[in-house]
Amino acid sequence: MSDAEAAIERIYRGEYGRVVASLARRFGDLDIAEDAAAEALLVALERWPVDGVPPNPGGWLTTTAGNRAIDKIRRESHRDAKHQAALMTYDDTPHEPTGLVEDDRLRLIFTCCHPALAPDARVALTLRLLGGLTVPEIAQAYLVPETTMAQRITRAKRKIKDAHIPFRVPAAADLPDRLGAVLAVVYLVFNEGYLSSSPDADPVREDLTGEAIRLGRILRTLLPDEPEVAGLLALMLLIESRRPVRVAGGELVPLHEQDRGGWDRALIAEGHDLVRECLARALETGRRPGQYQILAAINAVHTDAPTASATDWSQIATLYGQLYAVAPSPIVALNRAVATAELDGPELALAEVDRLPEIQPSLTGYHAWHATRADLLRRLGRSAEARAAYDAAIAATDNVAERAYLSRRRGSLAP
């Protein structure tokens, strides 16, 4: 891929969700929206290297994709009332949201998270349509075969079409019942941006982290008294505050090695305020904090420490214990083991990590499990085993910055 093609691909990924959401609203058909967006990319790859990138690439892609959608409808003589209306009202002006509830991308998330869809399909479909992730990337994130993930997405789109699920944000009374799936999707979009799984994308995708935070702020406006919404927004802000120093020299910089002077203090202050608000509301109402509130509290502890050595690992371990009680998973247990290593030493932590595949065998395909084992083995002086674990971690991730970091750590092992 040439530099020009790579630049176009980055722009396209950043605008993909906006384009598909706009077309889905206009034409009411996800397949038409996706196909037209893909055709717009082909046109961009043909024209932009010659004509230059337009001043408003997102608007150009939306307009071009809209024209391709209309051409497709005409070719197929597929003229039901909805498509006729779309043709009659379509113009070349990119869609601008008219209000919070009218936001196209938020509408798309709520459509993809409709209760009629299977839970695993909701997240996968939204990552595909809003985040522009490929099927292989989503499959890797979920540790499932590509064919399985492709079938999930196809079935979900068919369900939306056959059940006539509307492209809209539900009424206020219906929001709480749909909230859990929507929050999960927003967080996964954020995570994909913070550490991209695509070898062709930037290691950290500001477009996705920014989009997730934007959606989180909208949800906070819609549901100001819902503590998990505030918790998720706080979590994303605190993680985003570290992004400026997340990658250096093309290499991932882990939390304990980051220059804390480069963290965004305004985001940290906002995140801490939200965490305090969440916890105060939990005390007032007697409700147990949810997973996003606890994760936000964990990140508040990290961002409150002036140095890595000053981190309150005892508090973090306690919070991970609370998180496991609320949302038990091998990933949570893996992070709790990291805290255990700081408190009780790497040997005990390694025993915990090695037991996790008994709970979820597919964890052995997860790069973070191998990377955690590698670091613990390194700290125990078991260099040969650590080297093998680093090799497995490198093979299990496509993120170029993470591969660079893991390779450096592997190279630093004693013979």
Tell me what pLDDT residue 201 has: 60
Beta bridge partners of residue 248, listed in sequence order: 251
Letter for the amino acid at 142?
Y
Among the residues of 205-311, which ranges form H helices? 206-222, 227-240, 265-285, 291-304
> Cα(103)–Cα(108) distance, rounded to whole angstroms?
9
Taking each helix axis from N to C end, the angle separating 119-129 and 146-162, rounded to the nearest 10 degrees, works out to 90
User: Burial of 154 by CB count in 10 Å (0-12 exposed, 13-18 middle, 19+ buried)?
Assistant: middle
Q: The whole model's pTM is what?
A: 0.74
Read off the pLDDT of residues 78-113 as tens digits, 9 standing for 90 and up. 455 555 555 444 444 444 333 334 578 778 888 888
Res 376 pLDDT > 90: yes
Lowest mean pLDDT, pick from 5-9, 29-33, 60-64, 378-382: 5-9
Interval 285-297: pLDDT, tens: 888 899 999 999 9
Which of 249, 136, 151, 232 lies closest to 190 in space, CA to CA?
Answer: 232
396 — phi, psi (to 5°)?
-95, 0
- 205 Cβ partners below 8 Å, 6+ apart? 13, 14, 192, 193, 194, 196
d(CA 33, CA 105): 13
